[in-house]
Every structure is written in C-alpha cells, then in structure tokens.
Structure 1
Amino acid sequence: MQHFHFKKGSLLYENHFKTMADLADFVAEGEVDYQITDEGLMLSAKKSSGVNGDFSHWLFWLNKDFPDRIMIEWSFTPIEEPGLCMLFFSATGERGEDLFSEHLKKRTGHYPQYHSSDIHTYHLSYFRRKWQDEREFCTCNLRKSTGFHLVAQGADPIPTVADAKEDYRLRLVKFDHYIQFSIDDLVVLEWEDDGYTYGSLLSAGKIGFRQMAPMKARYRRLQVYQAETY
C-alpha cells in the first residue's frame, strides 16, 4: 500500500457548535436528541425511542456537498455507553443524485436503509461499544456501501467511558482512492479502494454522524479542509 502524508489546504467548513443556530445545516433522520451546552453538541437518542430497538438509532447529516480530497476533523468525547458512533462520508444517491432527492427511499435511521438500499457511501465505526463482543475487543471498522462490505479494520485506542479523556481529536482523510483515519494523530486504519472489488470509487458527497442508542456523546470543532499531500 502506498502511504501518504497530508496537510490542511483551504478550509471548506467549520462549526464550533456554540448555539442552536449552528445546527441549521444539519438534517436528522430518526429520533435524535440534540442539545447545545457550553461544552459543545450533545447527541443521543430520544428516550421515547428506546422501545423501538434497532429502529431507535439515527443519523445526523450535514446538508452540504463536499468534493473529493478532503480532511474531516472533529473533537469527540464518549459520555454514556453502551452504543456505537459512526461517520458517513462521500454519500450520494445510487445514481449520483443528491442524498435528499425525492427519488430516493425515505430513511428513518434504521441501518439497512443506509448500507443496503439506494445510496452509496463509506461509513466508519470508530467507537463500537454496543454489543458484548465489541466491548471485549474494540476495533474501528470501515465499510463501503451499497452492500455491507467490511473493507478495513484497526484497533480502537479510545478506552471505555469510565477511563476516557476529554476531546479526542479525530481525523478522516478521503483522497481519491485512499482513506486514512487517525485519533490524536495516531493512524488507526488506512485503505485503498480499487474501484472494482466493492463497486465504483466514491467521490464527492455529504457527511453525517450516526449513533446507536443508547449512546450519548459530545462533539466539538467540526472542520472540513481540502486535503493536500506533501
């Protein structure tokens, strides 16, 4: 595998999650409970959705299209377990439509609607503490859809909530065929998409955060840059 070193280019988007007005760019699918505090954006499932099992999970999309060759950075603090946290990126309709096109099937947060329906996307699970086997051996998983293709996996350095520190700085780089994910500057996983084995190479599109209930987590300082190599 060819290894790359990246630097930040021009800033494409920034959100410090200081006021409720900062959420105007986001679209919720599923029962999302979101609160802005002095410490940032707190996300969890609404308590009323807890009776719905796997239908109580949700996705929080940033309603902006980003080009290829981007670096996504955000600060993340796990607050309550069990649960799971994910980042979706390069998300479009299956024919390249806008993710919110009226021609696409309605989505309500149920996972199969995102990995095996009518959208294309990469999705990274970076804090997996939902099921017992995930808690026994913690990994970060990268998948490509349409389809439920596990394409890369790496060890998760973030401890459980009881031992977690404040604000892990997460970075996802999508640069043509190459994807790299790091936590506090430690590279956790990287993968090259050949554009054939699991379908055509994905490029521009939207990003979104997902959690599996009853996970509660805090987000701060979301920044998206044009990525450059050096």
Structure 2
Amino acid sequence: MESKGNINGMIPSEWKLLYENALASEKDILGFRMEGEGAVSFPMGRMRLESTRDPEEGQKANLVYWCPEDFPGDLAISWDFWPIREPGLAIMFLSAKGAGGEDLFDPALAERNGIYDQYHHGDMNAFHISYFRRRWAEERQFHTCNLRKSYGFHLVAQGADPIPGVPDAAGPYRMLIVKQGAALLFAVNEMVLFRWEDDGVTWGPLLGGGKLGFRQMAPLIAEYANLKVYAS
C-alpha cells in the first residue's frame, strides 16, 4: 500500500493508505447511506451534496451521508472541499458507532433522518467537526471550526476557519483530521486549526473506531473529492 510519509509531521510516517475514494462518479458511492432527504450528483466530476427539502423546514431539511466502511480508532482522514452555495453548515463525523458499541447501521438503533439532535443526543457516539459554519448570522460574522464529542453536545475544541465565503472561495480546500490515541488534530491546507487531547473522563470514555460521514445543513451546496484514510 502507499506510504503517506508525513505532511509537516501531522501524519505518522509509518501509516499507510487504508482507503481511497475519488468521489468522482456514481460507482464511487455504492453502499453510501443517506439520512435525511438529499441529492447526490457529479456535475464537476466530484460529489455534490444538497438537500431536496425547503430550508424553512429547519432540521428536517438537513442530511448526513455516511461512508459504509468501518475505520480504526487511530487514523488520518483527508478530503477536498468546495463550498458552492451558502448559507449553511458542513460537518465531518468520525468514530461513529452505536451507543453500546454496535455498528452504526444496526437496525436496533433509533432511526436517524438528518435531525441534529439524533446525532448528539441519540443512540450513537461520535466526534463531529463543523468546518464551514455559515448558517446563522453570528457564524457568518465570526468564522470558527468546532470539535464536539457525543454522546452529548460537548464543545471540546475550537479554531479559526480560514475558508472564505462562496464569492471568494477558490478551492479545493484540503481538509485533514488526525486521530491518534487520545489526541485529535484538524487542519485545512496544512494549516493546523486546533489540537486537542481527550482525558477520557470529562466528556465520557475515549472513542475508538467507527464510521465517517458528511453532514450538511440546508441550504448549503458543497462538493467533495479525494477522500483518503490512513492508518497503521
């Protein structure tokens, strides 16, 4: 398998490419699972996500699109991001599992359909990083990236968001998450926005492996490509 080396020391040099997905066509998303009502298209040869519901419906208009693979607890996730239409909000979920350690798609878990409460006070645990927060006026006035840990709605780390608004966005913006042991790092275009270490007590036990998923809050339209996951 391909060896990553490291990007400014952020990814351990011994980690290898575990999963690669160009997200360039319909064949690349076989097995992906949509929660909520959304459309997936590839007008620019990259995965475009958008809600098919009226944003005025609030949380009912939001969506989560899950990669079907299970990934280990120590990993690096990178992907390209282009914001196409705002306002809205983009999130990456990782380490997502049922609250009792079940597979995230276990039919015994409570139903999820894009409403945010189901993901932070529902039948699952996960990290969620919001990295393009343009839905509410206060978010547009002061751009931040937020790391939350669930179960619960625990804001555990925060950093400045360097991505400009859609009129000035060029893209692609290369996103990177590195989770190793209790430590988690988030970077955009190799600029580290925050590092955080979980004590395994204050916000619940350490999270291990699980699934990753793309979340959008309507009416955001965004595109994604070149999803890669590295691990030991």
TM range (shorter): over 0.9
Question: Where do 4+ consecutive residues of structure 1 move more than 3 Å?
Answer: 48-51
Count of residues in Structure 1 that have an aligned counterpart in Structure 2: 223
What residue in structure 2 maps to residue 171 of structure 1?
Answer: 176
SS at match of 1:7: coil
Residue 77 of structure 2 corresponds to residue 42 of structure 1: no
Letter of the aligned partner of 2:154 in structure 1? H
Q: 1:59 aligns with which of 57, 64, 75?
A: 64
Per residue, is there more strand in 1 or in 2?
A: 1
Q: Deviation of residue 5 (structure 1)?
A: 3.9
What TM-score, normalized to structure 1? 0.94
Q: Deviation of residue 52 (structure 1)?
A: 2.1
SS at match of 1:151: strand
What TM-score, normalized to structure 2? 0.93
Asked if the contact 2:35–2:114 (Cα under 8 Å) also holds between the matched residues in 1, the reply is yes
What residue in structure 2 maps to residue 73 of structure 1?
Answer: 78
Letter of the aligned partner of 1:183 in structure 2? V
What residue in structure 2 maps to residue 106 of structure 1?
Answer: 111
Letter of the aligned partner of 2:17 in structure 1? L
Q: Distance in 1 between matches of 2:180 and 2:32?
A: 24
SS at match of 1:55: helix
Asked if the contact 1:18–1:37 (Cα under 8 Å) also holds between the matched residues in 2, the reply is no
Q: 2:147 aligns with which of 138, 142, 146?
A: 142
Q: Deviation of residue 49 (structure 1)?
A: 4.2
Q: Deviation of residue 150 (structure 1)?
A: 0.3
What residue in structure 1 maps to residue 138 of structure 2?
Answer: 133
Q: Distance in 2 between matches of 1:83 and 1:76?
A: 14
What residue in structure 2 maps to residue 192 of structure 1?
Answer: 197
Asked if the contact 2:99–2:124 (Cα under 8 Å) also holds between the matched residues in 1, the reply is yes
Letter of the aligned partner of 2:19 in structure 1? Y
Q: Distance in 1 between matches of 2:23 and 2:196?
A: 31
RMSD: 1.2
Q: Distance in 2 between matches of 1:5 and 1:13?
A: 18
Letter of the aligned partner of 1:36 in structure 2? F
Asked if the contact 1:85–1:125 (Cα under 8 Å) also holds between the matched residues in 2, the reply is yes
What residue in structure 2 maps to residue 19 of structure 1?
Answer: 25
What residue in structure 1 maps to residue 158 of structure 2?
Answer: 153
Is the alpha carbon distance of 1:51 and 1:138 closer, same or farther for their aligned partners in structure 2, counting shifts above 3 Å?
A: closer
